[in-house]
Structure formats: structure tokens, C-alpha cells
Chains A and B, each alone.
Chain A
Amino acid sequence: MRRRRRIATALYACAGVVLGLIILVPFLYVLSASLQTESELIRRPPPIVAPNPTVDNYDYVFTGAVPAAYASKELLRGTVTQDVRQIPKGLRNSFIVALGTVLINLLFGTLAAYTFARERIRGLYAAFVFILGSRLLPSVAVAVPIYVGLRSMDLLDSKLGLVLIYSAFTLPFSVWVLTLYFSSLPVDIEEAARIDGCTRFQALRHVVLPLAAPGLAAIAAFSFLFSYSEFLFALFTTETSRSKTIPVIIASVSVNPDASYTLIAVGIVLSMIAPILFALVFRRYITSGLAASLTRG
């Protein structure tokens, strides 16, 4: 019996290693590719570990200093040069847009969800159904009108426009998760606070919010990851580096047939840093949020 269990554990461990490799190897490969020179990378078969790791490619993206290896062989082509240099701006735009969306979700989402969870007035249910129902509409169906609408509001090619679109897409989910969360908190503490002279808003701020912190963390993580990575709307509402987010920039670099592969790899690595950090820090809340929201109906 014990021997059988030991064999089973060994098999599980093997499967675990395979799984770990399937997940990690692609990431490690691009990381290694981003640290090589073009001529090293395009050998067949490509080196698994960068033989002479160099940060020249990163240096070029951030400072514009052309790596010596490219300059001598004239491998770096003009079109790519400019595109890749937009990456820092794209990272900044993505970060600002994602942060703006998170703030709107935390502020407006919390206020609305608290009302949904606690107040009983006419029309409340209809409003709830309307907000949740809006997500039944697939985003492609509203893509063109949103483009036209943003144009008429003079919000094309602006970070604010993206923040508003992403807020409209993430708020229903946030309101839903937070409403579930607030409803599960006992009313007694708030009522005690109200009797002690707190206003409704103060009770929310000082009593409910600290208790709801895990729910807030979950919606912050979801809205951040969504808006940092969104591609379709970012692609057709942005035009210049004023508002182009990182997915749009690296996508346009990558579909350029002249693009240098090492520089593409640099773009991929840089675009993944923030979401990976976010996912690791908020892992617990993401997992429980996903489980609760998709199974609790």
C-alpha cells in the first residue's frame, strides 16, 4: 500500500514537472531570445540558453542606442526602429489606462454595489438587470458604433476614451462580484455604526470597505488585467503613441515582416512584466474571485 502510494506520488511529480515545463519553457525561451543578438538567434536549431547574454536590445528600446552587433551588420531596418522605440510609451499608456479603469471600478463600482446590496427602492432591480444584461452584448456588435461615438465626442486616440470603454466592459462584473460580497457581510455592524452617528457613506467607508478588501482586490486585479491587455478596441480607436497601448504596439511590430526577432522578443517580455507581477501579487483573490463568480451564479 505504502509502496503503491510512493509510486503514485512519483508519477504525479513527473506529471507536475511536465506541466511546469509546458507553462514555463515558452516564457524562458522569449526571455533568452531577448538577450541575444539576431545572428545568434537565427541559428538552426536556436540556442536554448543565450550563449552571450546582452541587454543591448533593451538598451536600444529605452535609449535608442543601436546595439553594436546590429550596427556592424546593418541588420536593423528603419521601419522597425521607430516602432520598437514606442514600447516604453506603450507600457506607460497601458499602465495609465489600466490604473484609470481600476480606479473607476473601485470608486463607482463600490458605491453602486453597496446600494444594490443594502437599499430597497423601486427600480433598483431593473437597474441591476440592465447593468448585468449589458454584458450579454458581444463587444464586436458595438465596436463600430463605439468608434463613431468616440469620434463625435472627440475621444478617438485618447487614453480617456479607452478608460471609458474598458470601464463600461468591466463595471458590470465588478458590480456583480461586489454586490455578492456586500450581501454576504452582516448588516449589524453597519447598523451599529449608523446608530453611533455615521452617515451611510461613512459606514461604507470605515466599516464595510475594510471587511470587503478581498472582493475589492479581486475586481481591481480583473479590471487591471483586462484593460492592460485589451486589443480589439485599443487597435481601432488609437492612432498615435499618445494613446497606443502596449498590445497594439507589439502587435504592429510583430506583423512587420522586417521586424528584428530579438527586438520582438524584448517587446513581448516587457509587455508581460506588469500582468505577471499583478497576477502573482493578487493570485489568491483572482482564484477565489473566479471560483465564486463563475460558480455562484
Chain B
Amino acid sequence: MTTAAADRGQARARKSRLGRRTYSWATLAPVLVIVGVFTLVPFVYAAWTSVHRHVLVLQGRPFVGLRNYQNAIEDPLFGDSIKTSLIFVGVSVPLVTLAGLLVALLLNQRVRGFGILLVLVLLPWAVPTVSAGIMWRLLLHGDFGAVDGFLFRIGAIDSYIQWLSNPTLAMASVIGVHAWREFPLAAILFLAGLQTIPPDLAEAARLDRASAWQRFRYVTLPLLKAPLLIVLVYETIVALSVFDLVYVLTGGGPGSATTLFSWFTYTATFKYLNFGEGAALSFIMAAVLLVCIVVYMRVVRLREDVT
């Protein structure tokens, strides 16, 4: 009798465990299928494509080994675009970080009316990159742009500047617009970090007659270390994969002045329909980004250890 009851109890437990398993996997299945079909499968396919000749206008897909990688690297634009990307990352990441930090420090002050700035600051980040890019293209227009109009009116320039048709200025413009779009994100992250600083601590430092700089250096900055590292690495990843802005602002030109590596990959793939070489380039890019992401995860884990 007792054993029968125990058996029944066990059977019920097993059944409920089975039910749990079924429920669990049933709830995970949609996400696993969607993510798998659109990332894992394409990844395997891309790996295959990158070692075969796969040009849309040519018949046949012979195995070519690492030829696609070799062709990609030997393209003179490859080195140029990497150099351009390095400059872009090297200037825009510190610029975004610094602007974000300054804005966060400003917005952290209790000044009447700053509430509305906290709302406004989201706007450049919230609108589509394409829209922001086209908007700035109108503003920077060399014949009737508002930027030139403003500078001319206040007497800063004698003649209109052709922002987007001079190689150096075009690069500067893309960087500037990118920074305008990205600084809100950095500011929000820094602001979140600033708000973790206990007010007592800042007050104590003030009572100890620490100067504003000392308070910033010894109270604020150490607590901003984690958001700082995260912003740096995250913005590096974003800057490496910029695409929309180049498309609407400069199209990679003038010449190849703003041909970033991401743009070069895109044109190699879709302009010349050379999917094999495109896949090879994508993998090179993926490797670079992966390094950044690994650093990023390291940084995040570092923070967990610290706190």
C-alpha cells in the first residue's frame, strides 16, 4: 500500500518534471528558432561563402581557399579604409566620451529648467541615423547651408565653405555629425554613474574644503571609471560599424576620403555583387569587432569585481 502510494507520488513528480521541461523548452523555442535562423545559419553560410568564388553575375561556385581574403587585402582601398576607420575611431570616440562626460556633469547640477534638457538630450539619439544624416547634409550644404549662413553672418568666414566636398572637412563633418548623434548615450550612462555617488560623500568633501577640482578628481572620477570604460569600448564598436551616416552624408567621398572600413565592405559586397569577397571582408571586420567585444565584456566583469 505504502509502496504503491510512493510509486504514484514518484510518477507524479516525474510527470511534473517532464511538464516543466516541456514548458521550459516550449517557451524558449520561438526565440531560439528566430535567433538561430538569422544568426547561426547565416554565419555558417558566410564562412562557406568566404572560401568560395561567389559573384552574383558569374556562374559556378568553385572552392578558392583563401583567395577572397587575399584579394580583399590586396585591394589598395583595403589599407586606406582601415586607416580612415582608425582616424575616425581615434577622433570620434574621445570626442563623444568627452562631450558626454561634460554634458552629464552639467546636467547633474541642480539648476532650474534642466529637467527639460534631460528630455531634449535624448532627441539626437532617438531619431533615425539616416534622418539625422540628411538633416545635417542640408545644414552643411555649401551653397545655402545654415552653418555657412550663420558663420558668414557673424563674420567668421568670408566665403562659403564646401564642407562635404573637401576631403579633410568631409571627414571632420562625418565625425562631427556622428558625435552629435552619439553624445546623448554617453551622457546618459555617465549621468547614471554620477547618480550612484552618495550625496553625503560630496557634501563631506565640500565641508573638508576640497576644491571643485579636488572633489571631481577624488570623489567623482573614481566612481565614473566603470561607465567611462564601458562608453569607450561601446563607442569604439559603434564607430567601427558606422554605415548609415556615410551613406547619406558623403557616399564614401570625396574620392575615398570618408571610405570607412564598414563602407568599403558594403561597396565590395553590394556594388560589385562579389559575395565571396564581401564575406571575407565581413569576417575580418567581425574579428576586429569581436576583439572589442571581448575587451568590453572583460571591462564589464572587471566592474563587477570592483563593486
Contact = CB atoms under 8 A, between A and B. Distances in A.
Interface string B216-259: 00000000001100100010000001011001100100000000
A231 B130 contact: yes
A181 interface: no
A35 interface: no
A108 interface: yes
Contact of B144 (A12, A22, A41, A246): A41
Interface in A189-241: 200, 225, 228-229, 231-232, 235-236
B23 interface: yes
A119 B130 CA distance: 42
Contacts of A71: none
Tell me the interface secondary structure of chain B in the complex: helix
A127 interface: yes
Contacts of A279: 122-123, 126
A113 to B, nearest CB: 9
B16 to A, nearest CB: 11
Given A145-B43, A295-B189, A275 B126 contact: yes
Interface in A122-142: 124, 127, 130-131, 134, 136-142
Contact of A130 (B35, B127, B286): B35
Nearest to A9: B111
A210 to B, nearest CB: 19
Given A111-B27, A134-B39, A295-B193, A229 B120 contact: no
Interface stretch (A61-69, A73-81, A167-175): A167-175
Contact of A140 (B135, B148, B241): B241
Interface string B17-54: 00011011001101110111111111101100100000
A186 interface: no
A255 B251 contact: yes
Contacts of B146: 29, 45-46, 48
Interface stretch (B4-12, B80-88, B90-98, B298-306): B298-306
Interface string B118-162: 011111101111110011111101011110111011000000100
Contact of A24 (B120, B285, B303): B120
A16 B226 CA distance: 26
Interface stretch (B70-78, B165-173, B263-271): B263-271
B128 A112 contact: no
11 contacts: A12-B111, A45-B144, A45-B150, A124-B24, A143-B278, A144-B269, A145-B45, A232-B243, A261-B141, A271-B128, A287-B192
The 3 A-B pairs of least Cβ separation, nearest first, read A45-B149, A291-B192, A145-B42
